[in-house]
Amino acid sequence: MRALAVGLAAALLFAAPGAALAQEVKVSKTVEADATTTMVHEILVDAPPPEVWTAISTAGGWMTWAVPVAWVSPGDPDLIETSYDLAAKPGGPDTIRQRFGARVAGRSLAFRTVKAPAGFPHWDDYQKVDSLFEIEPAGAQTRVRLTSRGYPDSDGGRALVGFFEGGNAMALGNLRQRFATGPIDWAATRR
């Protein structure tokens, strides 16, 4: 799908609605034994786990908080294509493709970005990054954890960590806002 990551994090390309809520996201970084960086973003969302699961695991769900447009690839339900451009079309140069991997319905969803928009910086480094959404009940809320592993120990890898540290926080802020005030009005964010 898009992790954002993008999918997720490319939310920095917009004046993202969740910017104020991004400060409520806990972020931690760990340098692993192989010198790659793992980054974890975590937030509490005011919604039950099944609703959060729909938001993170479907194209329609992603359009309520992560991106203005998203499509599931015909014939491949594990491939989602997204864009931050409201006018984007499937297969266009400005789209992002996420490949879903392992999933436990209602609990976890692994994915990797397999196509970035044309000109995306450090793509050679970013295509090595694996991401995992995990959700769990937390009282009346749902804890959402996004773990991204494999940022290389390189100039590009470090630049990506800096970009996605803020971008993923902003995107998860959008997710929280989506359940607090309703789906993101992407057309309004462009004004």
Q: How confident is the model at residue 188 (pLDDT cuts 50, 70, 90)?
A: confident
* Relative orientation angle of helices 155-181 and 49-57, to the nearest 10 degrees: 130
Would you mind telling me the total number of residues written for the chain in this entry? Answer: 191
Residue whose token pair is 């480094």: 125
pLDDT at 21: 54
Residue listed under structure tokens 């991106």: 67
Would residue 4 count as lying in a domain?
A: no
Cross-strand pairs, 29: 39
Which residue range(s) make up the domain with 158?
Answer: 9-190
DSSP assignment string, 61-103: HHTTTT-SEEEEETTEEEEEEEES-TT--TT-TT-EEEEEEEE
Quote the mean pLDDT of the chain. Answer: 88
Could you give phi then psi for residue 47, rounded to 5 degrees? -160, 155
Q: Is residue 16 part of a domain?
A: yes
More confident residue, 188 or 54: 54
Q: Which helix (H) or strand (E) holds 51?
A: helix 49-57
Q: What domain count does the chain have?
A: 1
Residue 129: is its pLDDT beyond 80? yes
Q: Are 62 and 46 in contact (CB under 8 A)?
A: no
Residue 36 lies in a domain: yes
Distance from C-alpha of 96 to C-alpha of 90, rounded to nearest angstrom: 10
pLDDT band at 22 (very low <50, low <70, confident <90, very high): low
Is 3 within a domain? no
At 120, which CATH number? 3.30.530.20
Q: Per the domain annotation, does 41 fall within a domain?
A: yes
**High-pLDDT (> 70) share of the chain, %:** 87
Tell me the whole-structure pTM to 2 decimals. 0.87
